[in-house]
Structure 1
């Protein structure tokens, strides 16, 4: 279907009273959502990523944060070590059975493997859609409660065009909301508006935007407070997405699960996390959105998988899945340790964790055979990457 036909069908579906309403003199009637040259491709890409039993491998840590991971297993933070580790991930045989998209850092998107093939080609051979982190990180928000704002809108249009040319087909922008900080109205509004502007720019360059207003785990608040803040944040986010004519069928979301704060005395069961999280999503997220790809936010590998599994025990309006970083890679990195002889064992661990979350996406996961290592929490207070 051509883009013009897509637009025509979209307009044809509008109620007759609206479609026939005359335009004000001198004003041009605009479509309610993006229907440009990439509209069909965006919808197709989003649907491919939101495929049954599949989720996203988030391997987009900045070079500094990737360095912390390498140093945790005794490796220097060098280009060569980052290349070797990321090559291990993208070239894992059979990974495409469980992973439909991989978020890359800019260095990796333009990088070759040690054998001379591009990282992008390795992903494509595995049937995995390459994606790219496009934000420029968090900065202090003046006149707020020690909160942050996310930079990166300047020059984003050209960068997205360059990323598309290099082979990326989706993008990610992470902004955050802090519950201990209030959160202040200005911080929530800045988070939501920045995400909406980024999403509009990304779609116009052919990249499916992942929209990620992360509700940080930091704090000792209970699960009801998290629900309250999450509902407020997502309401604001979708308001600005609509105001910016973002095509909802061509986006993916990356929300936090609704849990108590990391320092709260009572931990929630997977069933409670699922009930609260799905309640929030049903109140705030239109069914037009194809995929909800949860972040793990410092949960253990086991906890994040159990919670995802609980959310898929009954049908949802969207593909409810995962976009995990540490919750897919923690055991992988500790198995590898930078030793060439450990590559196959590390890749086997990646496949194990990817399959576990694939099963959880389908509501079929059991924790049989999980190790004590998988149950270790990974929360870091004030985590940045």
Structure 2
């Protein structure tokens, strides 16, 4: 483990006005996204779509890293340039999703645990050779108004995240640690804050026990937000305040950056919430983004699988990256949406 290299890569991903483009959708997930625009999910269509994303001019100003799926890490542009090489040549750090999905946690109804630790050390070594410099592992934490997640469900996911993170740093890869408290359901913002606090407290206790270098990792948490079915939705400022309050209590200042997931929020809401947090003044860590759908939804809508629409799709991506870059500095405003 090269400590200085880990610190350098982690800091570069969340450099000023930069964040992460999450393009690591599994094949079943991207199949659903493509189905929404009536595009067949063939390997070539997936490759072409990712190529459109990665060749968009100007995104390097606001994208410090891109998370890739295993298939994508091994693919190339039409001109034969491997995607990791293309991204690196533009100053964008390539990363890789390494978990193998969440499954039901045995004997704990309602809880899930993420699999993929078996053989991970060997896979990380291969990914490093293929050009990846960071990795990502997502823990899925279901939530209801009272009983879920269980304390053991949280502990099981925290332990798996820490084992993954330690293996990453051993291999010379920066781990992005993602404990996602889902925003599905009818729970209140107060309930989300309680569960998010429990998850973060458990995760950092396990990371510390596993000797993970905080300066050489990034955290990808959910925002503290009410469930989609909750009748009482919080304001933008309430979400920002609750999220920062929770993070300041449980995330060590040594962590260089927090890269939020969008978690099913609209593109505009995700940008609005990020902006509000950065407008509340400097925090101990960089407050940034690692958005998938919140960056890509407008791109898919513009592209529609048609080559004639590539320029419009790339313009949509550049616009969302630019707006989130502004949100990183607390300089975004809703009026900018129409201006694009």
Residue matched to 2:311: 344
The whole-number CA distance in structure 2 between the counterparts of 1:233 and 1:120 is 32
The whole-number CA distance in structure 2 between the counterparts of 1:369 and 1:289 is 31
| Match among 1, 17, 39 for residue 3 of structure 2 | 39
Q: What secondary structure, in the 3-state scheme, does the structure 1 residue paired with 2:87 have?
A: helix
The whole-number CA distance in structure 2 between the counterparts of 1:78 and 1:305 is 31
Task: List per-residue Cα deviations over 1:218-260 (Å, max 9, x = no partner).
Answer: 2211111111111111100000000000000000000000011
Q: What secondary structure, in the 3-state scheme, does the structure 1 residue paired with 2:172 have?
A: coil
Residue matched to 2:233: 267
1:189 paired with 2:189, answer no
The total of aligned residue pairs comes to: 337
**Offset of residue 68 of structure 1:** 1.2
Task: List per-residue Cα deviations over 1:111-138 (Å, max 9, x = no partner).
Answer: 1112211111221122100000000101
The whole-number CA distance in structure 2 between the counterparts of 1:140 and 1:176 is 10
Task: List per-residue Cα deviations over 1:80-100 (Å, max 9, x = no partner).
Answer: 100110000011111101100
The whole-number CA distance in structure 2 between the counterparts of 1:332 and 1:256 is 23
1:360 paired with 2:324, answer no
| Match among 74, 82, 93 for residue 118 of structure 1 | 82
Residue matched to 2:100: 136
Q: How does 1:12-27 map to 2 (within 5 A)?
A: none
| Match among 49, 59, 78 for residue 95 of structure 1 | 59
Task: List per-residue Cα deviations over 1:44-98 (Å, max 9, x = no partner).
Answer: 0001011010000000000111111111111111001001100000111111011
Residue matched to 1:256: 222
Q: What secondary structure, in the 3-state scheme, does the structure 2 residue paired with 1:217 have?
A: coil
Task: List per-residue Cα deviations over 1:2-34 (Å, max 9, x = no partner).
Answer: xxxxxxxxxxxxxxxxxxxxxxxxxxxxxxxxx
**Offset of residue 268 of structure 1:** 1.2
The whole-number CA distance in structure 1 between the counterparts of 2:98 and 2:2 is 19
1:227 paired with 2:184, answer no
The whole-number CA distance in structure 2 between the counterparts of 1:232 and 1:70 is 36
Q: What secondary structure, in the 3-state scheme, does the structure 2 residue paired with 1:152 have?
A: coil
Say what the alpha-carbon RMSD is for the aligned residues: 1.3
1:318 paired with 2:285, answer yes
Q: Is the 8 A contact 1:174 1:212 kept in 2?
A: yes
Residue matched to 1:215: 181
With 182-191 and 53-62 compared, the bigger mean Cα shift is at: 182-191
Q: TM-score under structure 1 normalisation?
A: 0.86
Q: What secondary structure, in the 3-state scheme, does the structure 1 residue paired with 2:337 have?
A: coil
**Offset of residue 369 of structure 1:** 4.2
The whole-number CA distance in structure 1 between the counterparts of 2:47 and 2:5 is 30
**Bigger-Rg structure (1/2):** 1
1:164 paired with 2:131, answer no
Residue matched to 1:85: 49
Residue matched to 1:302: 268
Residue matched to 2:164: 198
The whole-number CA distance in structure 1 between the counterparts of 2:284 and 2:253 is 5
Structure 1: where are the runs of 5+ without partners? 1-36, 375-385
